[in-house]
């Protein structure tokens, strides 16, 4: 039985570009191709674009999922040449130039762009994922939020001091930017937002433990900025432990350095690996599962196939792979979209991609952030303001920028967080 063609728009003389993934890279590529004499189909298993850098704020009740997500169809609605397909890619037939979706149909392509992102890497301990979720999806964030809040609710009626302490303990594994940001946010939630909401438990005594296998936190940042972040986290009440490796995780906590840390909430932020896109293509991948690409973002040996963002191991000017950052994916998406438009419309050669570093940043907590611009560094209040301005600007919809700005200002003024509801679905996931 042959599979049907699921492309929404009938085929015509225009070349067809299929983009898999509506994250930063895929969306930027589609927008660059908008309005061209080119058919574009963007495929994603979800119908929304998620602003992942602020997902930790959903996990810590500062924002709601709708504040940082926007329907893909709405983002691309003004481009008549772009179709959106909500489906899961299950394979690629390179010989026939077809993307197989949901095992029930296919979408043919003339050019294929893979922007499928990454997932958390548990380094051979995949069973830990159920007990220590990462932070890649709305479901992950809601599950973590429910676990944190349920811990305090259960501690309120608990009579055993040791069990009460465990219920209000959160352990974050991995001290990169995501780990640092969520550790600081949980500490702020407990010590400021919840401190007067309970009668029999004091949220200010809640324990937040940040674990890092390396010698210091934030290894991608200069040591001086990492030291500042470490100091601010400790001041906020976070216990930072470096040079420790997680030896085991069970429903009651984490085993590390020969001891158990009893904890209600465990968050995994210790590294990522690419999506299975390399396996779909049957092509070479690096140790993180990323597809090796040329400087023009093409996949070697596969005509018309490209990979960007966390899916790709893209060499920089020195040959080292570029970091898995949103700004890298966004720049690659726009670069490739414009390059494909010029190639398909005028026969132009695809130019090499050059990453322009706009700075690396992490927020530690209230009034504290760090920025690394390479030759210059910024920390403290000004870095925090700059972090907020940039993240608001990068949200894809104007109304989201207004809503998030108002909520951040209100939270800064009052220490209150409005997204503290626990639904029945969240509660069942967090048990």
CA distance 138 to 350: 36
- pLDDT reading at 245 higher than 70: yes
Residue 424's pLDDT is 60
CA distance 183 to 116: 27
Look-up of token digits 């940040």: 210
- Other C-beta atoms lying within 10 Å of the C-beta of residue 221: 23
φ/ψ (deg, to 5) at 95: -65, -40
Mean of pLDDT values over 23-43: 97
- Tokens representing 244? 């420790």
Domain 16-45+87-120+272-346 and domain 126-270+418-430 have a common topology: yes
- pLDDT reading at 419 higher than 70: no
- Residue 426 binned pLDDT confidence (cut-offs 50, 70, 90): low
- Which range, of 44-53, 148-157, 177-186, 411-420, averages the lowest pLDDT? 411-420
Contact residues for 68 (Cβ-Cβ < 8 A; gap 6+): 50, 51, 54, 55, 57, 58, 395, 400, 404
- pLDDT reading at 282 higher than 70: yes
pLDDT tens digits for 175-219?
999 999 999 999 999 998 898 889 999 999 999 999 999 999 999
Our measurement of the distance from residue 195's CA atom to the centroid of its chain's CA atoms, rounded to an integer in Å, reads 29
The CA–CA distances, whole Å, from 317 to 115, 306, 307 equal 22, 19, 18
CA distance 67 to 70: 8
What's 297's DSSP letter? S
CA distance 431 to 422: 12
Helix (H) or strand (E) holding 165: helix 161-167
Mean of pLDDT values over 266-287: 92
pLDDT tens digits for 381-416?
999 999 999 988 888 777 888 888 888 877 777 767
CA distance 23 to 39: 19
Q: Does the 126-270+418-430 domain belong in CATH 3.10.20.30? A: no
Within a 13 Å sphere around the CA of 409, how many CA atoms are in the beta-carbon half?
8
CATH topology of domain 16-45+87-120+272-346: FAD/NAD(P)-binding domain (3.50.50)
Residue 402's pLDDT is 85
For residues 334 and 31, the answer to whether their CB atoms sit within 8 Å is yes
Residue 36's pLDDT is 97
- pLDDT reading at 425 higher than 70: no
Residue 350's pLDDT is 97
CA distance 189 to 172: 15
Residue 395's pLDDT is 85
- Residue 429 binned pLDDT confidence (cut-offs 50, 70, 90): low
Q: Are strands 39-44 and 118-120 parallel, antiparallel or unpaired?
A: unpaired
Residue 408's pLDDT is 83
Residue 312's pLDDT is 96
Domain positions in the chain are 16-45+87-120+272-346, 126-270+418-430
Mean of pLDDT values over 277-296: 93
Question: Crossing angle for the helix pair 24-33 and 326-346, nearest 10 degrees?
Answer: 30
For residues 361 and 387, the answer to whether their CB atoms sit within 8 Å is yes
Look-up of token digits 């001091």: 161
Helix residue spans in 136-203 (DSSP H): 138-156, 161-167, 177-188
Highest mean pLDDT among 122-126, 239-243, 358-362: 239-243
- pLDDT reading at 64 higher than 80: yes
- Other C-beta atoms lying within 10 Å of the C-beta of residue 139: 13
Helix residue spans in 241-325 (DSSP H): 277-281
pLDDT tens digits for 79-119?
999 999 999 999 999 999 999 999 899 999 999 999 999 99
Mean of pLDDT values over 300-321: 92
Helix residue spans in 295-423 (DSSP H): 326-346, 381-394, 398-414
Mean of pLDDT values over 330-335: 98
As annotated, the active-site residues are: 181
Mean of pLDDT values over 19-25: 97
CA distance 268 to 196: 29
φ/ψ (deg, to 5) at 21: 115, 125
Contact residues for 430 (Cβ-Cβ < 8 A; gap 6+): 143, 146, 147, 150, 422
């Amino acid at each position: 039985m042959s599979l049907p063609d699921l492309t929404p728009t009938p085929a015509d003389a225009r070349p067809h570009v299929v983009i898999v993934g509506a994250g930063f890279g895929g969306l930027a590529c589609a927008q660059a191709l908008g309005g061209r004499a080119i058919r574009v189909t963007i495929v994603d298993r979800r119908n929304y674009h998620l602003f992942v850098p602020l997902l930790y704020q959903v996990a810590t009740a500062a924002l709601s999922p709708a504040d940082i997500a926007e329907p893909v169809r709405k983002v691309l609605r003004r481009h008549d040449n772009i179709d959106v397909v909500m489906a899961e890619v299950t394979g690629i037939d390179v010989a026939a130039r077809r993307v197989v979706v949901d095992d029930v149909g296919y979408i043919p392509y003339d050019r294929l762009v893979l922007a499928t992102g990454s997932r958390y890497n548990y380094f051979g301990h995949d069973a830990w994922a159920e007990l220590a979720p990462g932070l890649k999806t709305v479901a992950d964030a809601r599950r973590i939020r429910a676990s944190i809040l349920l811990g305090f609710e259960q501690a309120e009626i608990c009579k055993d001091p040791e069990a009460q302490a465990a219920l209000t303990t959160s352990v974050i594994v991995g001290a990169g930017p995501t780990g640092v940001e969520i550790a600081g946010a949980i500490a702020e939630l407990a010590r400021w937002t919840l401190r007067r909401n309970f009668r029999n438990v004091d949220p200010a005594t809640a324990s937040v433990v940040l674990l890092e296998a390396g010698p210091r936190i934030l290894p991608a940042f200069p040591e001086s900025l990492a030291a500042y972040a470490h100091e601010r986290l400790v001041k906020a009440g976070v216990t930072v432990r470096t040079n420790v490796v997680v030896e085991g995780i069970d429903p009651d906590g984490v085993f590390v350095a020969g001891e158990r840390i009893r904890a209600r909430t465990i968050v995994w932020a210790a590294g990522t690996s690419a999506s299975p896109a390399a396996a779909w293509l049957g092509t070479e991948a690096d140790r993180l599962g990323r597809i090796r690409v040329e400087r023009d973002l093409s996949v070697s040996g596969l005509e018309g196939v490209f990979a960007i963002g966390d899916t790709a191991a893209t060499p920089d000017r020195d040959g080292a792979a570029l970091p898995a950052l949103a700004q890298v994916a966004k720049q690659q998406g726009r670069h490739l979209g414009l390059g494909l438009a010029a190639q398909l419309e005028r026969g132009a050669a695809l130019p090499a991609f050059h990453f322009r570093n706009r700075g690396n940043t992490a927020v530690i907590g209230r009034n504290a952030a760090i920025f690394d611009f390479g030759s210059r560094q910024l920390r403290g209040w000004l870095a925090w303001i700059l972090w907020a301005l940039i993240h608001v600007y990068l949200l894809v919809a104007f109304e989201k920028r207004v809503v998030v700005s108002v909520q951040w200002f209100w939270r800064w003024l009052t220490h209150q967080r409005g997204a503290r509801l626990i639904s029945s679905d969240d509660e069942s996931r967090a048990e």
